[in-house]
Amino acid sequence: MVVVTGQNKVSGNPDDAMSSSDAEDDFQEPATPTATQAGQALPLLPQQFPEVVPLNVGGMYFTTRLSTLRRYEDTMLAAMFSGRHYIPTDAEGRYFIDRDGTFFGDILNFLRSGDLPPRERVRSVYKEAQYYSIGPLLDNLEDIQPLKGEKVRQAFLGLMPYYKDHLERIIEIAKLRAMQRKARFAKLKVCVFKEEMPITPYECPHFNSLRFERSESETKLFEHHCEVDVSFGPWEAVADVYDLLHCIVTDLSDRGITVDHQCIGVCDKHLINHYYCKRPIYEFKITWW
C-alpha cells in the first residue's frame, strides 16, 4: 500500500526509503519553473512597440503613432514607450495606462500638433500634464487663462501671513458650530484689514507722521486683536480688502463650501488718544447642505 501526502511518498517497501544524503542532494537541486510560472513572468526587456500604438487609458481607447508618444524626451510617456519599461496590455492587445483617460485626448492633441485645450478644460489638462511630466505643455498652459491669472493671485496671497491656516480655521469653526447647534449653517466673524495701523480719513495725517517715528512703548499701545474668529492682514500690495475677500470666497467655494459674506461694521476698540481700531468686520455664513 502506498500513501501520498504533500510532496512525501511513503512506501510499504523499506528498500525504497530515501537515505539522508540522497535527500540532501535532492533538496539542493535548483527548482525548475513550471509552465504556469513561466507564463506569468514578465517579458524580456527591451519591449518592442509597433509604429501605430493602440492605447487603453483607464478604459478609454486611443490610437497614435509611437513618434507622437516620444515627441518630448523628458516626459513620462517617452520613458514608458522607450522600450526600457514593460507596459501591460489588455485582452485586445492595447497598451494599458492606469489613469483616467478623460483628458488624455488633449494630451495627444498637444503632442501631435501643439493644440491647447479650451479654457474650461485648462485646469484639468494641467493636472494631467503634471502627471505625464510634459514640460512644454505646462509652460503653454501657465501662460493662458485661467492659470496665468492664478499665478498673479498666488503672488498676492504669498504676501498674506498664514492665509491657508486661516482658511482651515474658518472651516473648522463653522463645522463645529453647525454640529453643536444641529444647524444647516453657521456664522462667524472675520476681520480683513490691509493696514497694520488704524486709519480713518481724519486721522491719516497724524497716523502717517507717527508710523515711522513711534517708540517701542507707543507701538505696544497700538497692538490689538479684534474680537473676531479669524483675522486676515496686514499686507502691502495694490490689491485691497475686497480683492482678498474674493480670494477667500473663491478658495472656499473650490472646496465645495457655500459661503456668503457681508460687512457688519468696524471694530471700535479705543487704542490711544483719538485712535480707534476701525478695522472692517465681516460676517461669514457657511451653509453645509
Local confidence band at 223 (pLDDT 50, 70, 90 cut-offs): low
Mean pLDDT of 251-259: 94
Asked if residue 175 and residue 121 are part of one domain, the reply reads: no
Host domain of residue 231: 159-198+225-287
Which residue has cell 485582452?
91
Asked if residue 166 and residue 135 are part of one domain, the reply reads: no
Q: DSSP state, 162?
A: T
In sequence order, the β-bridge partners of residue 276 are 270
Asked if residue 257 and residue 176 are part of one domain, the reply reads: yes
Which residue has cell 487663462?
145
Asked if residue 182 and residue 96 are part of one domain, the reply reads: no
Asked if the structure places residue 205 within a domain, the reply is: no
Determine the Cα–Cα distance for residues 213 and 274; give it in Å rounded to an integer. Answer: 18
Asked if residue 179 and residue 134 are part of one domain, the reply reads: no
pLDDT above 50 (res 59)? yes
Mean pLDDT of 207-214: 44
pLDDT above 60 (res 41)? no
pLDDT value for 24: 44
pLDDT value for 26: 45
Segment 124-163, tens digit of pLDDT = 999 999 999 999 999 999 999 999 999 999 999 999 889 9
Local confidence band at 236 (pLDDT 50, 70, 90 cut-offs): confident
Asked if the structure places residue 11 within a domain, the reply is: no
Asked if the structure places residue 153 within a domain, the reply is: no
pLDDT above 70 (res 13)? no
Asked if residue 166 and residue 131 are part of one domain, the reply reads: no
Picking from 76, 109, 144, the residue at the C-terminal end of a domain is 144
CATH number at residue 59: 3.30.710.10
- Kindly state the percentage of the chain with pLDDT values over 90: 62
Number of neighbours of residue 60 by Cβ within 10 angstroms: 15
Q: Is the Cβ–Cβ distance between 59 and 97 less than 8 Å?
A: no
Local confidence band at 29 (pLDDT 50, 70, 90 cut-offs): very low
More confident residue, 106 or 198: 106
More confident residue, 143 or 16: 143
Least confident of 106-120, 148-162, 217-231: 217-231
Mean pLDDT of 38-62: 80
Segment 138-147, tens digit of pLDDT = 999 999 999 9
Asked if residue 136 and residue 173 are part of one domain, the reply reads: no
Arithmetic mean of pLDDT over the chain: 82
Please, which residues have CB within 8 angstroms of residue 33's CB and are 6 or more apart in sequence?
Answer: 41
Determine the Cα–Cα distance for residues 166 and 172; give it in Å rounded to an integer. Answer: 10
Least confident of 39-43, 68-72, 218-222: 39-43
Q: Based on the structure, what is the number of domains in the chain?
A: 2
In sequence order, the β-bridge partners of residue 37 are none
Mean pLDDT of 105-118: 97
